[in-house]
Amino acid sequence: MTVGPVLVVNAGSSSIKLAVFAGGAVRLSGLVDGIGGAGRLRLGDARHAGDFPDHAAALSALLAALSAQGMPLTAFRAAAHRVVHGGSLTAPARLTPEVLAAIRAAIPLAPLHNPHNLAGIETLARLAPDLPQTASFDTAFHATNPDLATHYAVPAHIAARGIRRYGFHGISFAALTEALPRLSGAPLPARLLALHLGNGCSLCAIRDGQSVATTMGYSPLSGLTMGTRAGEIDGNAVLQLAEEDGIKATRHLLNHESGLRGLSGGPSDMRALIAADTAESRFAIDHFCYWATRHAGSLIAAMGGVDALAFTGGIGENAAPIRSRIVNGLAWLGARLDEDANAAGAPRLHAPGSLPIWIVPAAEEARIAADALALLDAPK
């Protein structure tokens, strides 16, 4: 069996994250953000500013920095990628022409994500054509959703064109289901409500370890109020906007200028909104918490109850006031925080006698690396 570290590549809309995994742990991590103009590169202790016009240039710069730190591409056993939309693919896969074709076919379903994911794959294939590459899909974890949860109420010939609910953040939710038993020292709760709260947000109803419902749908736009995405909005409102302003402008509005940014009139970062304490920022926070709580009730109904809550993601892990607001909104479940533990960001958040409430650190890159190793070590 070939040995060597695994390089995990997570390409977002304006950033690329890298992580080097060896022996089950992160040995080195870094990123480039600000892609599309003047950006910043960080890799371990190395930091510098630069112009990164596109994802290929950003990844090439990161790989050069890796090589300068003694980790050329030839040192890696494989490269493993996060791909937001797997389309028809419902399990991690080695990258073959057929798998790449499926990822390209899903571009209309995730136009803001899959092209960037493919850019990372194609750049590595060009620079290291013999390096095995794998992909893990954010949609795959939700393949266990029942048909009632995934079908929109549209005619069959429309559904056949891929118009259905897919769900996202699946890599994060899969990692959470593995990590929570280690964290709690107990089996995974039978009915777990997982809250992935960050710039993108979604909730997942996890019953017996499997996703049965989630808030995102056809694309990562729907569901909760997010950093710059509108979340839930009536289809006729979208059609009206598209008729008045055009499809391109409406797509940009709903994905990049809405959510917390639209409500606050500026900031989309939760830390900035909490610090600002203006009428607009308070309303944006109220909206975020209200819709997280309201959607939580829907997912709890889909599971027939709930046995535990688990927060993850940048906001879920770090914003104590937001966790407090959401849990208070679910007090009717018997959920009650230990306020000292919440303020400290402790893993166990629940007060005595409460429904269990946990913080589970996001571990998407570790899950992607584990998927890659499982594929590489599978019998031929």
Question: pLDDT tens digits for 203-221?
Answer: 999 999 999 999 999 989 9
34: left (phi > 0), else alpha (psi -120 to 50), else beta? left
* Choice among 130, 138, 208, 286 that is catalytic: 138
Fold agreement (6-137, 170-364) = yes
Question: Of the candidates 142, 250, 125, 147, which has an alpha carbon nearest to the alpha carbon of residue 196?
Answer: 142
What's the DSSP call for residue 25? E
pLDDT at 268: 94
* H-helix or E-strand spanning residue 326: helix 320-329
Residue 71, token pair as written in the block = 């980790």
Q: Is the separation of the CB atoms in 135 and 93 below 8 Å?
A: yes
Measured distance CA(107)–CA(314) in Å, rounded: 26
Q: Give the start-to-end residue ranges of the domains of the chain.
A: 6-137, 170-364
21-58: pLDDT as tens digits: 998 889 999 999 888 888 899 998 889 898 899 888 99
138-156: pLDDT as tens digits: 999 999 999 999 999 999 9
Q: Provide CB contacts within 8 A for 197, sequence distance 6+.
A: 224, 292, 311, 312, 313, 314, 315, 316, 319, 322
DSSP 266-322: S---HHHHHHH--HHHHHHHHHHHHHHHHHHHHHHHHHTS-SEEEEEHHHHHH-HHH
What's the DSSP call for residue 139? T
pLDDT at 2: 55
286 is catalytic: no
pLDDT at 91: 94
Considering only residues 292 and 379, tell me which one the structure prediction assigns the higher pLDDT: 292
252-266: pLDDT as tens digits: 999 999 999 999 999
DSSP 63-88: HHHHHHTT--GGG-SEEEEEES--TT
Q: Taking 80 as the threshold, does the pLDDT of residue 356 lie above it?
A: yes
Measured distance CA(225)–CA(287) in Å, rounded: 7
pLDDT at 13: 73
In this prediction, residues 171-190 reach a mean pLDDT of: 97
In this prediction, residues 90-98 reach a mean pLDDT of: 96
Q: Provide CB contacts within 8 A for 216, sequence distance 6+.
A: 165, 166, 167, 168, 169, 202, 222, 223
CB count within 10 Å of CB 345 equals: 14
CATH 3.30.420.40 fits domain 6-137? yes
Q: How many helices (H) and strands (E) does the chain have?
A: 15, 13
Exposed, middle or buried: residue 1 (CB in 10 Å: 0-12, 13-18, 19+)? Answer: exposed
Considering only residues 113 and 337, tell me which one the structure prediction assigns the higher pLDDT: 337
Out of 3.40.1410.10, 3.40.640.10, 3.30.420.40, 2.60.120.260, which CATH number does the structure's domain 170-364 have?
3.30.420.40
Q: Taking 70 as the threshold, does the pLDDT of residue 1 lie above it?
A: no
